[in-house]
Structure 1
C-alpha cells in the first residue's frame, strides 16, 4: 500500500487507476461497499485501485472549533484500505485552496493530474467549491472528459436503516459499542502514543498505558472492556477508563487501559485500543480503597466479557 498526496505526482504505475472517492472516516459498511465496487471494476480491466480521502476532514476545516468527531486516523485508514485490497491511498490536503476549487477543476485534477480513468463514489457525495458538485455533475464531466463514473447506493443494516458515520458516532457517545462494531464491522479503536501519567494506576496495583484522545470522537465516558494491539503484533485484553477521572484533581481527559497479565514498558510506543463493551459510567468513590475494589470488579467483568468476544484478525 502506497500513500500519495494530492500535491505530489502520481507514479506512472498508478496512473490509469480506478479511484474510490469519499472521505471514508470510519470506513464502515457503506464505505466498504464503495471501495469494494472500485476493486471489482479495476480487477476486470487489470487496473490499480486508489482510495482517495481528505485530511483534515472538510467539516473540521470549515468548523475548526467543532467538538472532536474523528473515527479513524490516516494511519488506520491506510491499513483498512490495504486490507480491503486497494493499491494506494491518496490524501487530498483539505486547505483553503482546495475548498475554493470548482467542481470542474477538481475533476480535472483527478483525470489530468492523477490519471484516473474511472471513479466510484457514494450516491450522496458532493465536492468542489461550496459543495457545488454532485454525482450528477461528476457523471456529466465524466462524459466530456472521458472517464467512467459509478455511484453506489447507501447500504442499510438488517433493520433497514442507512449505515452512516453519524449513526456510529451516536452509538459510541451513548456507550453502545455493539452497534458501532456491527456498522464498522470491527470495534471502534483509538490509536496513539503511550504517554507518562500520574502513576496512580501503578500505585493502586493496576498500571495503565495512558493514551491521549487527540482528535478522536469522545465516546461515552466510563469503564470499558478493551483489546490493545501493540506494534509487535501482540493483542492484549484489558479494562480501560475513558474520561476525566473524577476521583483526581485536576481533571485530565485520557484513555487509560490496564492490560491483563502484562508487564513491560510501553512508553512512547503507538498502541491501538479497541472498545469492546461499555461496563459503567465514570464515578467518584469514597476513598482510594473503594476505587481499588471497584477497579478489581471492573477487571473481572471485562475478563468475562472478552471471553465471549473472539478476537478479530
Structure 2
C-alpha cells in the first residue's frame, strides 16, 4: 500500500482518486463508513481510493500541552486502511502552513491542483481550512467550482448515540475495553518495541515484555486480560498485562507490561502489539513480593479464563 505525504507531488497513477477525508485516528465504525463509501465510489468509476489522516493530529499542533490521546499509530492506520480495501494512505502533515491555509485554497490549490482529487467523501460534521471555517456545504460549493464531487456520510449510531473517538477514549479511561472494542470493531491495541526492564518479574516467575506508551491514550491503569502479536512472525500470545506506574516498585515508571502465558522466547528488541480484552482490576501497591506474586497468580488465572471463554 502506498504511503503518501501531502507535501509531495501526487504520483500520476493516483491523480483523479476518490479520497476519504478526515483524521480517522481510531478508524472506528463511523470512519469505516466514510472510507467504505469512498472505496465503493472509486470502484464504481474505476479510480484509485485514498484514505487520509493527519500527523501530528491538529489538536497536538494547537494544544501541544494536551495529554496523549492517540488511538493508533500511523503504521496501524496503514494496515487498517489496507484491510479496508484502499489503494493508498495520504498523510497530511499538520503544521503552521497547513493550519493557516484558507478553505478556498484547501480545495482549489491543495485538493484540486496539487493532489488532483476527483471526489471527496467526509462525515457530515467535517470542517477544514483556517479556523475550521470550511464545512460540508462549502466543500460541495468549492469542489463543484473545481470539478471535485463531494459526498457526506451521516453518523453511525451505536446504543443510541453517534460513534466517535471521544466515546472510545472515555470507555478506555473508564476501564471498559469491551465498550471501546464495540465502537472500534476490534480490541484497542498498543504497539511498541520491547525494552529491557529491571527484570523483577523474571525473578518471581512472571517475566514481562516492557513497552512505553508513547503518544497512545492512557487507558485506566490496572490489570488486563490481553493478547499479543509478534509483528515479525504473526505469532499470537495470550496473557495478562499491567498498565500503569508499578506502585510496588521504586521509582515509579509508566509502562505497559504484558506477561504471556506458556512463552519462553526472547522478545527484547522486537515489535509487538498488545490488545486489551478485559479490565480485571485497578493497580495496587503490595507490601511484599510474596503478596504481589500471589495476586499475579490470581490475575493470570482470571485472564486465562476470560480469554478461553472469548475463544469459544
TM-score bracket for this pair, using the shorter chain length:
over 0.9
Q: In structure 1, what is the Cα distance between the partners aligned to 2:178 and 2:162?
A: 16
Q: Which residue of 1 aligns with 2:165?
A: 165
Instruction: Tell me what 1:253 maps to.
Output: 254
* Secondary structure of 2:161's aligned partner: coil
- SS of the equivalent of 2:298 reads helix
In the alignment, what sits opposite 2:6? 6
Q: What do the CA deviations read for 1:45-103 (whole angstroms, capped 9, x no partner)?
A: 11110111100000011101101110000000000000000010000000011111111
Tell me the residue number matched to 2:309.
308
Q: After the TM superposition, which residues 92-241 of structure 1 pair with which residues of structure 2 at under 5 Å, given as runs?
A: 92-108=92-108, 109-157=110-158, 159-231=159-231, 232-241=233-242
Q: Which digits, 9 at most, give the CA deviation of each residue in 1:112-159, with x for residues without a partner? A: 1111100000000111111111111100101111110001111101x2
Map Cα deviations across residues 211-235 of structure 1 (whole Å, 9 max, x no partner). 0000100000000000101021011
Distance 1:100 1:267 in 2: 43
CA RMSD in angstroms, aligned pairs only: 0.9
> Alignment partner of 1:308: what SS?
helix
Hey, what does 2:33 align to over in structure 1? 33
| CA displacement at 1:309 relative to structure 2 | 1.6
- Show structure 2 runs of 5+ residues with no match: none
Q: Hey, what's the Cα distance between the residues in 1 that align with 2:91 and 2:281?
A: 38
TM superposition outliers: structure 1 runs of 4+ over 3 Å: none
2:290 corresponds to:
289
TM (normalized to structure 1)? Answer: 0.98
Aligned residue for 1:62? 62
Pairwise CA distance, 1:310: 3.0
Moved more, 98-107 or 212-221: 98-107
Q: Aligned partners of 1:196 and 1:105: how far apart in 2?
A: 49
Count how many residue pairs are aligned between Structure 1 and Structure 2.
310
TM-score by length of 2: 0.98
